[in-house]
Amino acid sequence: MSISRRAFLAAAGFTTVSAGTALLSGCGSSKTSVTGESGAPSSLEVFSWWTEGGEANALSSLVSEFHLHNPNITFINRSVAGGAGANAKAELARRMKAGNPPDTFQGQAGAMLDDYVDAGQLEDLGFLYQQQGWDRSVNSTLLQLTQRNGKHWSVPLDIHHINVIWANKHLCDRLKVPTAPTSVADFVAALRKVAAAGKVPLAIGTTPDQNWQVKHLMECLLVAELGPAVWPTLWQRGGDWTGQPVTQALVALKEILALTANQTAALTWDQASAMVGRGDAAYQIMGDWTEASFTLAGLIAHKDYDWAPAPGTSGTFLFASDCFTLPKGAKDRDAAIAWLIECGSQNGQDSFTAAKGAIPPRALIGGTERGLFDTYSLWSMDQWTSTRIVGSLTHGVVARAAWNAAIDAAITAFVTDRNPARLQTALAAAAHTYAA
Ligand code: GAL
């Protein structure tokens, strides 16, 4: 019999944020001592940026599953607050440079790990892939992304859907705007209508510490204008950043921000989700970690809120995948390996992804297993197998750190000067410098 995700979480004891955070503190470090029957006691320092409600809850769920198999390992939560790793990525880079790696850290499959791989700071995980049979069981897109120079450098834990629009259904129905605007033009028309009714059209943080949310919106608009065949070419040498489709996307970005951002500038992503959840704002364009926060808030899918591919991106699945690594010099290598095995296992992935709004990265998801997931995740699973899959910029797949930093600087300038032509020039210059 299938059980719903809510029931699954309830059974695991994680129905509320406070239940989740009782185990793991939101920021900094906390320890959960576990006394078990077998194995020598050891500890495991896990670095991530999962501190918000739905994220911390999903991490707690994974830690509980991990402790079932590793009761003697003390979990040390070294999470650093800040959506999309806004602060964690810099802190991680500092630690790695100082030769003080955590036992394992949250990375993102794809270019986000390239600097660490090239600097020789990670262990090749080929031995684990072989031992655990992951070469056969992991989805082929992910299997490719975990490799560089023919070796595996990370274990994928989830697949997140990036190009999703979330809508408050009550508000949209009342204002007679669609919950799923299909084109960018329809979306802008709906935003205007919501603004005219005195409500916040789009919840989005735009202050410099939150400008990854603008980058997230920008990449959805670029995918809408360019389509899934051209988007990946932007990340290769010779990609066309100067053409009309990029111009159109950036002009739309300006138009959309003009309609909304001054009302919501300082919001974190989860505060923005909460605004939509409460009906204080109509829309948010955000990854599907928003689904987890809506579930925690007790909202009902299709009744209180709805989702759809971000405007203009139907038929495309813009994705990211959180993964874990084995840094060379990890103080507790055996405990880190036990964690990686959990991340690659069916139970580990199910416990985490079902609570995170994500889907598991394994190739085959059984019928019974599907019963653990809610209607949103089932939709996302179907999209994963029926649409064109392309990698995310904001969430680590297509561009390495230095390129992302150049784009971040261009976006920060744009939020102040609102000049799409200048932004396009800066983006083209960054591609010229960094495309390999
Ligand atoms: C993404 C990450 C997700 C989620 C999100 C918001 O980069 O892949 O797991 O945590 O940031 O913080």
Q: Which residue, judged by its Cα, is nearest atom 5 of ligand 1?
A: 84
Q: Which residue, judged by its Cα, is nearest atom 11 of ligand 1?
A: 84
For the CA of 289, the nearest atom of ligand 1? 4
Averaged over 332-359, what is the pLDDT? 97
Please answer whether residues 337 and 46 qualify as being in contact, where contact means their C-beta atoms are separated by less than 8 angstroms: no
For the CA of 158, the nearest atom of ligand 1? 9
Residue type, 79: S
Q: Residue 355's pLDDT is what?
A: 98
Q: Residue 1's pLDDT is what?
A: 31
| pLDDT for residue 152 is more than 60 | yes
220 Cα to the center of ligand 1, angstroms: 16
For the CA of 395, the nearest atom of ligand 1? 7
Place of tokens 């003390």: 74
Length of the chain: 436
Q: Which among 27, 47, 48, 49 is the best mutation to test ligand 1's pocket, defined by most ligand atoms within 8 Å of the CB?
A: 49
Query: Tens digits of per-residue pLDDT, 70-104?
Result: 999 999 999 999 999 999 999 999 999 999 999 99
Q: What does the alpha-carbon distance between residue 313 and residue 309 come to, in Å, rounded to a whole number?
A: 6
Three-state DSSP class for 46?
A: strand
Residue type, 29: S
Rg, C-alpha atoms of the chain: 21
| pLDDT for residue 57 is more than 50 | yes
Q: Identify the residue with better confidence: 23 or 273.
A: 273
| pLDDT for residue 21 is more than 60 | no
Query: Tens digits of per-residue pLDDT, 175-222?
Result: 999 999 999 999 999 999 999 999 999 999 999 999 999 999 999 999
Q: Which residue, judged by its Cα, is nearest atom 1 of ligand 1?
A: 84
Q: What does the alpha-carbon distance between residue 120 and residue 45 come to, in Å, rounded to a whole number?
A: 20
Structure tokens at 185: 């033009």
Query: How many beta carbons lie within 10 A of that of residue 306, not counting itself?
Result: 18
55 Cα to the center of ligand 1, angstroms: 8
Q: Residue 29's pLDDT is what?
A: 41
Q: Which among 159, 161, 289, 404 is the best mutation to test ligand 1's pocket, defined by most ligand atoms within 8 Å of the CB?
A: 289
Query: Tens digits of per-residue pLDDT, 404-435?
Result: 999 999 999 999 999 999 999 999 999 999 99
Q: Which residue, judged by its Cα, is nearest atom 7 of ligand 1?
A: 84
287 Cα to the center of ligand 1, angstroms: 8
Q: Residue 31's pLDDT is what?
A: 40
Query: How many beta carbons lie within 10 A of that of residue 375, not counting itself?
Result: 13
**Burial annotation 134-154 (CB, 10 A radius, 16+ → b, else e):** beebbbebbbebbbbeeebbb
Averaged over 247-251, what is the pLDDT? 98
289 Cα to the center of ligand 1, angstroms: 7
Q: Residue 327's pLDDT is what?
A: 98
Three-state DSSP class for 80?
A: coil
Q: What does the alpha-carbon distance between residue 284 and residue 164 come to, in Å, rounded to a whole number?
A: 8
For the CA of 50, the nearest atom of ligand 1? 10
Please answer whether residues 381 and 370 qualify as being in contact, where contact means their C-beta atoms are separated by less than 8 angstroms: yes
418 Cα to the center of ligand 1, angstroms: 27
Closest C-alpha among 361, 383, 384 to residue 145: 361
Choose the CATH number for 5-158+323-373 among 3.40.190.10, 3.40.50.2300, 3.30.450.20, 3.10.450.50.
3.40.190.10
| pLDDT for residue 24 is more than 50 | no
What are the C-alpha distances in Å from 43 to residues 39, 47, 334, 428? 12, 13, 10, 46
Predicted confidence band of residue 39 (pLDDT cuts 50, 70, 90): low
Partnered with residue 147 across adjacent β-strands are 152
Q: Which residue, judged by its Cα, is nearest atom 2 of ligand 1?
A: 84
27 Cα to the center of ligand 1, angstroms: 15
Strands of 322-324's sheet in order across: 31-32, 73-79, 42-48, 104-108, 322-324, 155-156
For the CA of 55, the nearest atom of ligand 1? 10
Burial (0-12, 13-18, 19+ Cβ within 10 Å), 66: buried
49 Cα to the center of ligand 1, angstroms: 8
Q: Which among 47, 108, 160, 216 is the best mutation to test ligand 1's pocket, defined by most ligand atoms within 8 Å of the CB?
A: 160
244 Cα to the center of ligand 1, angstroms: 31
* Pocket of ligand 1 from Cβ distances under 6 Å: 49-50, 55, 83-85, 108, 160, 269, 287, 289, 320, 322, 395
Closest C-alpha among 335, 330, 361, 336 to residue 348: 361
Q: Residue 26's pLDDT is what?
A: 33
Cα–Cα–Cα angle for 321, 218, 426, rounded to 5 degrees: 110
83 Cα to the center of ligand 1, angstroms: 6
Query: Tens digits of per-residue pLDDT, 98-123?
Result: 999 999 999 999 999 999 999 999 99
Q: What does the alpha-carbon distance between residue 40 and residue 146 come to, in Å, rounded to a whole number?
A: 31
For the CA of 356, the nearest atom of ligand 1? 9
| pLDDT for residue 134 is more than 70 | yes
Q: Residue 61's pLDDT is what?
A: 98
Q: Residue 232's pLDDT is what?
A: 98
140 Cα to the center of ligand 1, angstroms: 22
**What is the overall mean pLDDT for the chain?**
92
Please answer whether residues 352 and 106 qualify as being in contact, where contact means their C-beta atoms are separated by less than 8 angstroms: no
Q: For the chain, give every domain's residue range.
A: 5-158+323-373, 161-319+385-434
Residues of the chain above pLDDT 90, percent: 88
| pLDDT for residue 15 is more than 80 | no
Q: Residue 32's pLDDT is what?
A: 39
User: What is the domain class of 161-319+385-434 according to CATH?
Assistant: alpha beta
| pLDDT for residue 153 is more than 50 | yes
| pLDDT for residue 384 is more than 90 | yes
Closest C-alpha among 318, 405, 340, 302 to residue 70: 340
Query: Tens digits of per-residue pLDDT, 283-311?
Result: 999 999 999 999 999 999 999 999 999 99
39 Cα to the center of ligand 1, angstroms: 33
